[in-house]
Structure 1
Amino acid sequence: MVAFNKADIGGMIQGCAPGLDADLLEYAMGYFEDSSSDHSREALHDFLEPLLSEAGTPDDEIDALCDRLAALAPNNGKSSRSNGEVLALNGPVVMSQQMSSTIDLENKRRVDLTHTQTAKGPSSSTVDQKKLRAAEKKLAEKRAARGAFDPDAIPEWNPNVKPAIIVNQIKATSSATSGSKDIKLENFDIQYAGKKILTNANLSMNYGRRYGMVGKNGIGKSTLLRAIAHKELQIPKHIRVLHVEQEIAGDDTPAIKSVLQADEEREGLLKEEKTINQTLNKSATTPEESEKLNARLKEVYAKLEEIEADKAESKASTILNGLGFSPEQQQAATRTFSGGWRMRLALARALFCRPDLLLADEVTNYLDFPAVVWLERYFQKWAATLLIVSHDRSFLDAVSTDILHLHNNQLDYYRGNFTNFVATKSERRRNQIREYEAQLQYRQHLQAFIDRWRYNAKRAAQAQSKIKILEKLPPLEPPPKDDMEGIQGDSGDGSVYFRFPDAEKLSPPILQMSDASFGYTPTRTILKDVSFDLQMDSKIAIVGPNGAGKSTLVRLLTGENGPQRGICHRHGRLRIGLFSQHHVDQLELGASSVQFLAGRFPGQQEEDYRRVLGRYGLTGTSALQPIGTLSGGQKSRVVFAWMAMSNPHVLILDEPTNHLDMDSIDALSAALREFKGGVAIVSHDEQFLDATCNEVWVCDKGTLNRFEGKVGDGDGVVRQYKKSLHIEDV
């Protein structure tokens, strides 16, 4: 009888496949406890390979495990058959069908499969049939879910139906019983709109860490956040999760009261306090009722004191002030705010509630430089768990303690901020390339020797030896090409390239404002006495706090609004390419990108539209699928293609980096630097502006003035401006 140590075997299997489901592990253990099982190396491989492959274990590790397990058997891994006869099968055998039919035989004919008769007498099988069925069912469900994906399918778009997030999760673990707020999810798949997002992935977050998640556009970062927030993934129930995704609905509630109402515990206690006091003031209450109510009121007061309810309004006001709300705005009704300001309110409510896990998706998109700096400092003191999706490298560097990289349907983990991640990732890739090249050179050397001497009688034996060595080498795969897509940054060559066509030169002045003033009402002037000159070689950054008039300036430059006083001159043949959120909102969500461009610029071949879209990274099926199914970054690329087809002389961009991944931001920056025309950019992305622009203009308090940085400071002009801001301590 073969005697295996259960703990040792279990440890070896788990060490090889840490993601293996508990039921599958128990099923595997039953195989080794069964004295009638064949424990030869070949039999072990046939049994373990399907289970471990499903858990993501590489073939070479499975082979090594089988070798170790076979060596533990008393017969040293040889088959326990009494003879060495090899039997030929009449045809292929599908093991899953045979196993299912065997179990069916047991059920229908009452055949006892748990006891067998051997030459030495009856033998009992320790394989638990219920666990076997459960293991088979889980494997079948997971394989079926993965088999349902068609990577080339073009997803459909229905404005009334939001695609479901399909999650196939095998295991979720946490120390829920001990109240731990760490999160550990294992072996789950996510599909959205017919596309694989994650396959056999693991998510692990320790309480109190701040995780930044990066990856290329459309890869599924926002989808993962929504799956967590909507409880599609099995997050322990005692962990409070809050997702900053949608702006709050506008009504007559003052902004500060809207923030206070987000704390449901405080609101509930205050409401209960009011109800108890009203009841006590009624003369109809009996002494016994009054005693109970007073006791409960004492508990309510104690709880209110514990959560510092008396400091809540001051705390809410501090958060709103940090996010840019003036004292007057804090008292204004929420319906009076624009969508961007309502998103700030949603963020303020989340910060005020302090959930155990805060999910923040591109929250800096709606913030100006002062608010971004304040939020960086606030998050640096955040005590709970934070998961941020952001394209802002400076923000990730300031906030993140860890980086999650979403690529190839997997999540990779790195300690440190974004700069550390890029350095580690780049070094790892260089090592992979060096290893690949060394292995390739070794194989080429073997092949060259074989080609030269295999037909030489004196060297034939050596050539045959080299052939055997070459045949035993594992397949050589180059490092994945997309391993750094979406996060390349300044560390290397990105994989995305944008290009704007050059327009004919125009004689100056091209676009000029002289002492221009504008206001939406006679009593409120937004911009006063503004003088500004945009030439064919200008690369200008426009910065300043929200509400200072940057968007108004853009409308004056494009001619959407005219100055009430002063002059705004535009060249008679000037064509302006404008990027703004308004243009993204104008996209026809039910049409494909090709169809949209064909509607705007009719008369060209489909290949022409696809060629333009390809310049901005929309290739393959992404150019043919409905725009409504594209990610935010992909929709921005459609607008860039729309701009490019008008052959503009000047590009004016209002927050163009919102929703773009880092490769796309770098590609956009390079394209704007190479563009033979004028560029004016409104943005809060520090690195993007410093990489693209050679002038910085500050729009603040109704004026527009050039910011003169210090030469030789070591920082870019935009970073110098950011450092010059006075931000109150958090």
Structure 2
Amino acid sequence: LSLSRDSSRPVTTVVVSHDTSFLDKVCTHVINVKQRKPEPRIDAKFCVAGVRWKYSEWALKTYKGNITDFVRRCPEAKSYLSLTNDKQRFVLPEPGMLEGVKSKGKKLLKMHNVTYTYPGNQTPTLFNVSIEVSLLSRVAVIGPNGAGKSTMIKALVGELPVAGKSIVWKHPNVRISYVAQHAFHHVEQHLDITPTQYLLWRFAGGEDREALNYRSEEVSGEKKKYWLNEAGVLCKCTNAKEEAKAVNPELILGRKKSKSKANSGDEKYEYSVKWHGFSSESNMWVPREILLEMGHLRLIQREDERQAAAHGLVSRPLTQPQVEEHLAGFGLDSNLASHTRLGILSGGQKVKVVLGAAMWLSPHILILDEPTNYLDRDSLGALAAGLKEFGGGVIVISHNREFCYAVCDERWLMDAGRLTREGQLSKADVALEGKTIADEYTDEFGNVHKIKKQNHTEKERLM
């Protein structure tokens, strides 16, 4: 496009973009578009009522030069050269405490030596990738299209199954919000309802309905079968006769800590399972590892998400006033939130709805894949400032260098599936003090529910 600046090649190019550095390189003129202020007018028919207001048409004015020249002539447009939150502010809720996490530097997500190949492909998309994420993380994931950025993040949060010697671990109660690259897919099925109605639907029942659509596929490969012997003990099948009696989980009813710990020192968990075709008297606690061997990752993830969501609800009820107040923190007033259908909102306003929904459960880790799409400069500045003040970890996948450097102090560079880390890789730890883990939450009907503790009697352990 820079060829269009050459007078010997008369080509007219119209570019609509919020990328200042790009515009500075290719533009010779700037068309500033803004709405005129409301003007008073007297309507003869309603003169008794006095003054009425109307909004005039949009005003367009052309300036010669690039963006830098334009801002020099119009200082009020300084947000085009630097990301500021002077005109707009985003307020991201604090993530709250996690059991066993006493400092912000404690790792909440870990991925070690992960190599991943998509089914049908011969060449891996990821090669021996190892990363860690904490509440202190401010990470920009950078690389060309097809380098494996989104694949790495999907593997990290559990959307892609990993096998072999690869290790992916997360704190069992960590709340993760993942806003995918094409953010509109979160709301495109709900264009006939308002943003408030969307959040009320999405989080009804104490879990994130959108998250249910983005769980990992079941782990590929051979699944091991188990059966209940005459004494009611769960055993691995060793022959065809036992395989004919193999059992499958119908429901997972709860979760508790196991007495033993993993080799890494992390907590291990067991799940209360009701078997398909058996009465509740046969319910038992089954180690996570056995359920994974049986191929029931989705059931495990659903219970993990349910418990994490219960902690995230804290004492905030899922009601219209609370949702409106929450969305106001993302630049959507009550009129847009409760009286405007999603299908009518602009692209930038829909992104704000998606961001607001992603933060409803007060996540500990926020992952944004190309969050700058559709947001104007003022909104970008507000988002950048909000992310810097946010008390949880942040991972940003973006081609917008300016936004990444404004938010992140660590960079993960992806190139053909291989990862290089640079920036501030070690940070001074910060203790979490003066906070307690909530022991109750209020549902959408105003009912107060106690959050179950992880203590169990010996009788419960034997169930």
TM-score normalised by length of structure 1: 0.36
Deviations 1:398-449 (A, max 9, x none): 11111111111201222221122223211xx5xxxxxxxxxxxxxxxxxxxx
Tell me what 1:513 maps to.
111
The answer for the alignment partner of 2:231 in structure 1 is none
One of 482, 496, 502 as aligned partner of 2:88: 496
| Higher strand proportion | 2
Runs of 5+ unmatched residues, structure 2: 36-57, 205-316, 425-463
Unaligned runs of 5+ in 1: 1-375, 430-483, 710-730
Superimposed CA distance per residue, residues 254-285 of structure 1 (whole angstroms, 9 cap, x where no aligned partner): xxxxxxxxxxxxxxxxxxxxxxxxxxxxxxxx
1:660 is matched by which residue type in structure 2?
L
**1:570 maps to which residue?**
170
**Among candidates 67, 71, 74, match of residue 425 of structure 1:** 74
Q: CA deviation at 1:562?
A: 2.4
1:614 and 2:206 correspond: no
Task: Pick one of 379, 383, 398 that aligns with 1:683.
Answer: 398
Displacement of 1:397? 1.3
Match of 1:540, SS state, is strand
Write the distance in 2 (CA, Å) between the matches of 1:606 and 1:385: 49
Structure 2 counterpart of 1:601: 203
Following superposition, the deviation at residue 383 of structure 1 comes to 3.3
Residue 541 of structure 1 deviates from its aligned partner by 0.5
Matched AA of 1:424: R
Matching residue of 1:393: 20
The alpha carbon displacement at 1:703 in A equals: 0.6
The SS at the match of 2:15 is strand
Query: What pairs up with 1:395-414 in 2 under 5 angstroms?
Result: 395-408=22-35, 409-414=58-63
Matches within 5 A, 1:520-539: 520-521=118-119, 523-539=122-138
Q: Which residue of 1 aligns with 2:11?
A: 384
Q: Distance in 2 between matches of 1:418 and 1:567?
A: 47
- Superposed CA offset, 1:269-302 (max 9, x none): xxxxxxxxxxxxxxxxxxxxxxxxxxxxxxxxxx
CA distance change for structure 1 residues 688 and 492 in 2, over 3 Å: closer, same or farther? closer
Q: Is the 8 A contact 1:633 1:661 kept in 2?
A: yes
Farther-moved stretch of structure 1 (595-604 vs 622-631): 595-604
- Runs of 4+ aligned structure 1 residues displaced above 6 Å come to none
Alpha-carbon distance in structure 2 between the residues aligned to 1:377 and 1:543: 24
Does the 8 Å CA contact 1:489/1:662 hold for their aligned counterparts? no
Figure out how many residues of one structure are paired with residues of the other and give that number. 277
Q: Aligned runs of 1:244-323 on 2, under 5 Å?
A: none
TM-score by length of structure 2 reads 0.57
Question: What secondary structure does 2:114 align onto?
Answer: strand
Asked if structure 2 preserves the Cα contact closer than 8 Å seen for 1:403 and 1:417, the reply is yes
Retained in 2: the 8 A contact 1:562–1:568?
no
1:666 aligns with: 381
1:682 shift after superposition: 0.5
| Sequence identity percentage | 36
Q: Distance in 2 between matches of 1:379 and 1:706?
A: 37
Q: CA separation of 1:500/1:510 partners in 2, compared to 1, >3 Å: closer, same or farther? A: same
| 8 Å Cα contact 1:697/1:705 also seen in 2 | yes
Task: Give the letter aligned to residue 415 of structure 1.
Answer: K
Residue 377 and residue 532 in structure 1: after superposition, are their counterparts in 2 closer, same or farther (change >3 A)? Answer: farther
Tell me if structure 2 keeps the 8 A contact 1:423–1:491: no
Native 8 Å contact 1:536 1:677 kept in 2: yes
> Aligned in 2, Cα 1:563/1:697: closer, same or farther, shift over 3 Å?
same
Q: Structure 1 pair 380/683, CA: closer, same or farther in 2 (3 Å)?
A: farther
Report deviation, 1:523: 2.0
**More off after superposition, 587-596 vs 559-568:** 559-568
2:344 pairs with 1:629: yes
C-alpha separation in 2, matches of 1:491 and 1:658: 15
Q: Structure 1 residues 425, 491: closer, same or farther in 2, change over 3 A?
A: farther
Contact 1:422 1:491 in 2 (8 A): no
CA distance in 2, matches of 1:504, 1:492: 27
Inter-partner Cα distance in structure 1 for 2:157 and 2:3: 37
Q: Deviations over 1:179-229 (max 9, x none)?
A: xxxxxxxxxxxxxxxxxxxxxxxxxxxxxxxxxxxxxxxxxxxxxxxxxxx
Instruction: Identify if the C-alpha distance between structure 1 residues 378 and 562 changes in structure 2 by more than 3 Å, giving closer, same or farther.
Output: farther
2:10 and 2:163 mapped to 1: Cα distance? 51
DSSP-derived class of the 2:96 partner? coil
Kindly indicate whether the alpha-carbon contact (under 8 Å) linking 2:85 and 2:385 is maintained by their aligned counterparts in 1. no
Q: Which has the larger radius of gyration?
A: 1
Q: Which amino acid aligns with 1:568?
A: V
Letter in 1 for 2:186: Q
Q: CA deviation at 1:632?
A: 1.1
**Structure ranking higher on relative contact order (CA contacts 8 Å, 6+ apart):** 2
1:555 counterpart residue number? 154
- CA offset at residue 380 of structure 1? 4.9
Q: How does 1:204-283 map to 2 (within 5 A)?
A: none
**Counterpart residue type for residue 74 of structure 2:** K
Q: Structure 2: how far apart are the matches of 1:416 and 1:589? A: 40
